[in-house]
Amino acid sequence: MTLAPVLTRLDNDLDRAVERLMELLRISSISTDPAYKGDCDTAADWLVADLASIGFDAAKRPTPGHPMVVAHGGTGAPHLLFYGHYDVQPVDPLALWDKPPFEPAIEDTPKGKVIRGRGTSDDKGQLMTFVEAMRAWVAETGELPCRITIFLEGEEESGSPSLVPFMKENAAELKADFAMICDTGLFDGRVPAITTQLRGLLAEEVIVKAASRDLHSGMYGGLAVNPIHLLTTILADLHDENGRVTLPGFYDDVPELPDEIRAQWQALSFDHSRFLGDIGLSVPYGEPDRTPLEKLWARPTAEVNGITGGYTGEGFKTVLPAEASAKVSFRLVGEQDPEKIHAAFVAHVEDRLPADVSAEFPAGHGAPASRMPTDAPEFETARKALSEEWGMEAAFIGSGGSIPIAGHFQDVLGMDSMLIGFGRDDDQIHSPNEKYDLESFHKGMRSWARIMAALSGKG
Amino acid sequence: MTLAPVLTRLDNDLDRAVERLMELLRISSISTDPAYKGDCDTAADWLVADLASIGFDAAKRPTPGHPMVVAHGGTGAPHLLFYGHYDVQPVDPLALWDKPPFEPAIEDTPKGKVIRGRGTSDDKGQLMTFVEAMRAWVAETGELPCRITIFLEGEEESGSPSLVPFMKENAAELKADFAMICDTGLFDGRVPAITTQLRGLLAEEVIVKAASRDLHSGMYGGLAVNPIHLLTTILADLHDENGRVTLPGFYDDVPELPDEIRAQWQALSFDHSRFLGDIGLSVPYGEPDRTPLEKLWARPTAEVNGITGGYTGEGFKTVLPAEASAKVSFRLVGEQDPEKIHAAFVAHVEDRLPADVSAEFPAGHGAPASRMPTDAPEFETARKALSEEWGMEAAFIGSGGSIPIAGHFQDVLGMDSMLIGFGRDDDQIHSPNEKYDLESFHKGMRSWARIMAALSGKG
């Protein structure tokens, strides 16, 4: 009897919910760049105030990096912990944005209305879906449907250095029956989904150093070693001609996909031509004997995310640089161990360094892959609630992205996670012109109202 | 009878000559960066005024790029054309300069006094050696020793786009008996030298493009092609494991060193351990069957001078970029044809592009290697004059750097060049903390006075 008026209230309050989200989006909380530290703090303050206005006991909690936001409210089973992150990706290249990234606006597109701006889909728009569902529930009933803890992070886009220490220090406070993580997407932009397996991530940086200073390539070229050449060789050697990663032992802990999962995924009829076509590509890259979904969700990768060395400005400079560097990330699956892969990467680089050349590895960070126990009945309850909202069968899917928090909830708190989100493949997260569909925002709130109702038995 | 008082005057006037050079050095005439266009113009104006003060008929001559400075003076044989360039290299990384690059100063070092600042050695300090020699000659005798044309360029560090068109349009005015080019160095920092063979240069840029926008490496990694991977493969494949360039036909027009030259160079007792030790290296790189001097002066190279792609800022961004690019230069020797090498490079890249990936080649520029006819008697006359000034036998040497102007003087004006300069290997040209030894500046002026005296028979 409760759910229907809550849903109606969400429908009627949508414009004001968008206004609240816009306020949060205007705060340029880029966590990876120290220049935006104050903005991250402002975003946390905004969230504390908003959660307090709903009735939560909310506080900004300091860490050595950006603060956490933790809020408690409600009583009764189950105890649900909701997770999201208020920090956003950098915005460069700024020139490719059609509008300023921190001046969000509703836009009409051929596919419907969207909210355009940095953080709309990753993750401010998503975290506000559960906040709005809770606001409506309290407004309608005077209380939350069950015991709820909210846990919002400000370092998700910069490796979450404070996360695990904070979770360990506050384990008793944060442990709940399930974590509800809202940072994933619909399948194929239309099918509601609970993500139940996630790739892990190991982020590496390597700096190759040779001469003590930049040299003139005419005076020294041919006799002095060029660190860019070594770096290109090191990186080119990371893959064989079939796109497989060459690090020794890299595939040792990579499981083959169970037939059951393979069948489920096949049933999703993934249209890889459209998926690639949306980004100007046509041909699936990488291991030729794997299906596209398997490559995205269940196979490990090594990707160079950035490379730089020598003169890269306008014009030409015949320099033979003293150093060159690259940022490399590995997506991990199954039981792949980030520390073992780190050691293999370091060995791969060091084996390729001739005399006079050294390599440095500024501290990387890693998290293994994770997989959820979909046989727990709560997973099926949540799946049904999702199916009702979207009018089609919700799916258990994999994800190529890494959400290390799910692994940490398992390892540190012994708590499983339901990864439910409403992003779409064309949201351009981490890219210019990021957007979040208004439909995702609206039906996302409604989905959470339904899921909370179903799990707390207050439907 | 004329030479001795001119030399004395140069000695007595040294402080004022340094002051004049400092004025020119304070003008930040970086030609490759459009932001400094006005400064290039100012440097040209300064030179016109200074040459006019000596009695030259001097003028700033417009081009589509930075202006030329052309000056005429004197009568009598031979007609000598003096060449230098007033533009300088960019100064980045600025943080590595101990003092601001355009605030030159005299500095005491363990090896003697030096003038520190951008352009001191390349090429403002060098071009002022002949200007000062002429100033002293005119002050002492009332006229120049012979007919002299001065030709100063402002685009040497940015590929000299206006040079050949200007030379062609003004061929009759510029053609002389010999060109005297002051943009090279002493051998091994001590032996006066005339450079008689120079490597050519082909400068290329390649941009590899894949997806229509930057992608999230978690959402797309493993399925979407990464242009950085392709670029590293393309560049790594440019060399084999012995450091030889792999472009088909690359060595076709590379001559073996004549035994006579090989013997001359062996006699120079090049200390490659010290040469490399000065820049923090110990082991000669590249073709194992070639001597260090041969590698530097007589073998072609391919060097990546700059590479960039993806996220290169602070922190980490798991981006799969839409494009990646590199600047590549080839040093050419013998009869290697820049156009043929360009075509081979383009083919090398295009052969390695899979479906969906394209490459662009923004206009490069090239000049072949050149070699001077050292059997002309004037070469021997100049060599003797140099030997007298420095108190040791001057040498005919090669150079790894490219001074395309020498080739253009041959091709366009049918004029041979004497490349005589006083730079040292540790001058850090094109690098932070560039310097020019005060001894080079002082004995450089005196060398030109002696050479002009000897060639004009007015010693």
- Are residues B44 and B178 located together in one domain of the fold? yes
Confidence band of A1 (pLDDT split at 50, 70, 90): low
The three-state secondary structure class of A320 is strand
Please report the residues numbered 150 through 209 in chain B whose beta carbons come closer than 8 angstroms to any beta carbon of chain A.
Answer: 157-159, 199, 201, 203, 205
Per-residue pLDDT tens digits for B31-61 = 999 999 999 999 999 999 999 999 999 999 9
CA distance B287 to chain A (A): 8
Confidence band of B1 (pLDDT split at 50, 70, 90): low
Nearest chain A alpha carbon to B244: A222
Contact B317 A233 (CB under 8 A): no
Q: What is the pLDDT of residue A257?
A: 87
Contact B307 A299 (CB under 8 A): no
Q: How far apart (Å, rounded) are the C-alpha atoms in residues A421 and A445?
A: 10
- Are residues A110 and A223 located together in one domain of the fold? no
Confidence band of A154 (pLDDT split at 50, 70, 90): very high
Per-residue pLDDT tens digits for A344-397 = 999 999 999 999 999 999 967 788 888 888 888 999 999 999 999 999 989 889
User: CATH number of the domain that A377 lies in?
Assistant: 3.40.630.10
- Cα distances from B151 to residues A146, A257, B86, B128, B452, in angstroms, run 86, 73, 10, 13, 17
Q: What is the pLDDT of residue A370?
A: 86
For residue A233, give both structure tokens: 């060789």
Contact A279 B222 (CB under 8 A): no
Please provide the average confidence, as pLDDT, over all residues in chain B: 94
- Are residues B216 and B194 located together in one domain of the fold? no
CB of A451 closer than 8 Å to CB of A420: yes
Contact A226 B304 (CB under 8 A): yes
Contact A316 B304 (CB under 8 A): no
Per-residue pLDDT tens digits for B304-331 = 999 999 999 888 888 999 999 999 999 9
- Are residues B382 and B356 located together in one domain of the fold? no
A237 interfaces chain B, CB cutoff of 8 Å? yes
Establish if A265 belongs to a structural domain: no
Rounded to two decimals, the ipTM of the complex is 0.76
Per-residue pLDDT tens digits for B356-365 = 999 999 967 7
For residue B325, give both structure tokens: 């690019």
A219 has a pLDDT exceeding 90? no
Establish if B450 belongs to a structural domain: yes
Nearest chain B alpha carbon to A235: B232
- Are residues A379 and A449 located together in one domain of the fold? yes
CA distance A342 to chain B (A): 16
- Are residues A138 and A34 located together in one domain of the fold? yes
Establish if B271 belongs to a structural domain: no
Per-residue pLDDT tens digits for A70-81 = 999 999 999 999
Establish if A444 belongs to a structural domain: yes
Domain boundary among B340, B367, B394: B367
Q: How far apart (Å, rounded) are the C-alpha atoms in residues B33 and A249?
A: 48
From the list A358, A349, A348, A353, the residue with the least C-alpha distance to A322 is A358
A401 has a pLDDT exceeding 90? no
- Are residues A336 and A442 located together in one domain of the fold? no
Q: What is the pLDDT of residue B386?
A: 97
Q: What is the pLDDT of residue B363?
A: 66
The domain tally of chain A equals 2
Please provide the average confidence, as pLDDT, over all residues in chain A: 94
Establish if B326 belongs to a structural domain: yes
User: Across the interface, which of B226, B400, B425 has its CB nearest the CB of A221?
Assistant: B400
A125 has a pLDDT exceeding 70? yes
Please report the residues numbered 80 through 109 in chain A whose beta carbons come closer than 8 angstroms to any beta carbon of chain B.
Answer: 89-90, 92-93, 96
Beta strand ranges found along A154-250 (DSSP E): 178-181, 193-198, 200-209, 215-216
Contact A231 B229 (CB under 8 A): no
- Are residues A355 and A233 located together in one domain of the fold? yes
Helix, strand, coil % over all residues of chain A, rounded to 5:
40, 25, 40
Q: What is the pLDDT of residue B155?
A: 97
Mean pLDDT value across residues A37-50: 98
Domain boundary among B367, B392, B408: B367
- Are residues B150 and B190 located together in one domain of the fold? yes
- Are residues A332 and A388 located together in one domain of the fold? no
Higher pLDDT: B376 or A150? It is: A150
Partners of residue A30 in chain B, C-beta under 8 Å: none
Partners of residue A356 in chain B, C-beta under 8 Å: 280-283
A268 has a pLDDT exceeding 90? no
Q: What is the pLDDT of residue A363?
A: 66
Q: What is the pLDDT of residue B317?
A: 84
B373 has a pLDDT exceeding 90? no
Mean pLDDT value across residues B277-285: 94
Establish if B81 belongs to a structural domain: yes
Establish if B152 belongs to a structural domain: yes
User: CATH number of the domain that B244 lies in?
Assistant: 3.30.70.360
Per-residue pLDDT tens digits for B90-143 = 998 899 999 999 999 999 999 999 999 999 999 999 999 999 999 999 999 999
Mean pLDDT value across residues B201-228: 93
Dump the DSSP string for A109-146: ETTEEEEESTTIIIIIHHHHHHHHHHHHHHHHHSS-SS
Q: Which domain holds residue B41?
A: 3-198+370-456
A428 phi and psi angles, rounded to 5 deg: 55, 40
Ranges A18-27, A190-199, A235-244, B364-373: which has the least confidence: B364-373
- Are residues B449 and B424 located together in one domain of the fold? yes
- Cα distances from B17 to residues B13, B129, B131, B220, B453, in angstroms, run 6, 9, 10, 63, 20
Partners of residue B193 in chain A, C-beta under 8 Å: none
B390 has a pLDDT exceeding 80? yes
Domain boundary among B333, B351, B367: B367
Establish if B107 belongs to a structural domain: yes
